[in-house]
Structure 1
Amino acid sequence: MATVKLLGDEDLSAEAKAVFDDIRATRDSDFVNNFWRALAHDPALLKRTWESIKQVMAPGALDPLTKEMIYIAISASNGCSYCVHSHTASARAKGMSEAMFMELMGVVGMANETNAIVNALGVPVDEAFEAGK
């Protein structure tokens, strides 16, 4: 259950409406998801977050599908069901197969397991793994 009202288009300030218009234009879709509708209560936060997401998730050295899969992995590790669902949908739209998703979840599970073991044991970083070595 949301802790804030999810704002409909009719409830938006002019500043929030401008961001929603950009979301729609950038994504070539009329759909604006609940994350943005919750953030619309604070137009400055909405705009800053949207601008950052656009920059970070844009094609670069990593392709958009890889970025979506990284987002899923971090979201799964952080326990953000909403982000897992939204970025899984986006990754599937960009070509992620069920086999890729299941393999990704295997990597996430293994990384979380071995991270916990290494932290619990206090294993020091090997000198060979340090930058410049």
Structure 2
Amino acid sequence: MPRLQPIPYEQASDEVRAVYDDIKATRNVPDVNNFWKYIANDPATLRRTWQSLKEVMAPGEIDPLTKELLYLAVSVTNGCDYCIASHSAAATKAGMTPRMFGELMAIIGMANETNRLATGYAVPVDPAFQK
């Protein structure tokens, strides 16, 4: 499969430009980042992904910093370098300190280790933890 190229604003269709404009307005940024430019190769995926992300990351019961920390934790576990960089920057902007980052990495490492141990040992769930 040929490597897809990013779709810059100037070359984007009207449908893609509308999503780009919404991203720029929502995030108050002059341009969209590479993630959006690459998935713009499929305008339906671009639109759907942006709408879902905008809804999930909108203000709610979980504060913005916690949302970014959770996104970062999943990104680290999944090994997504792009998402780690993007959501580290967003978490820092939302108030993450270097010490918080270190603590988050320790939690992620511990959770991955104990998850694997529980899975490997096929540990049954304690009755006290069941609903």
- TM-score, length-normalised on structure 1? 0.95
Q: Which amino acid aligns with 2:20?
A: F
Matched, 1:38 2:55: no
Unmatched runs of 5 consecutive residues or more in structure 1: none
TM-score scaled by length of structure 2: 0.96
Q: How many residues align?
A: 130
**Any runs of at least 4 consecutive aligned residues in structure 1 with deviations exceeding 3 A, and if so which?**
none
Alignment correspondent of 1:118:
118
| Partner AA of 1:55 in structure 2 | E
**Which residue pairs with 1:8 in the alignment?**
8
Residue of structure 2 equivalent to 1:24: 24
Query: How far apart are the structure 2 equivalents of 1:127 and 1:31?
Result: 52
Q: Which runs of 5+ in 2 are unaligned?
A: none
Q: Percent identity?
A: 53
Output one character per residue of 1:88-129: Cα deviation in whole Å (capped at 9) or x when no partner.
000001110000011000000000000111110000001110
User: Per-residue displacement from partner, 1:18-49 (whole Å, max 9, x unpaired)?
Assistant: 00000000011113111100111111110110
Provide the C-alpha distance between the structure 2 equivalents of 1:9 and 1:15, rounded to a whole number of angstroms.
11
Alignment of 1:52-131 (within 5 A): 52-131=52-131
Report the secondary structure of 1:88's partner residue. Answer: helix
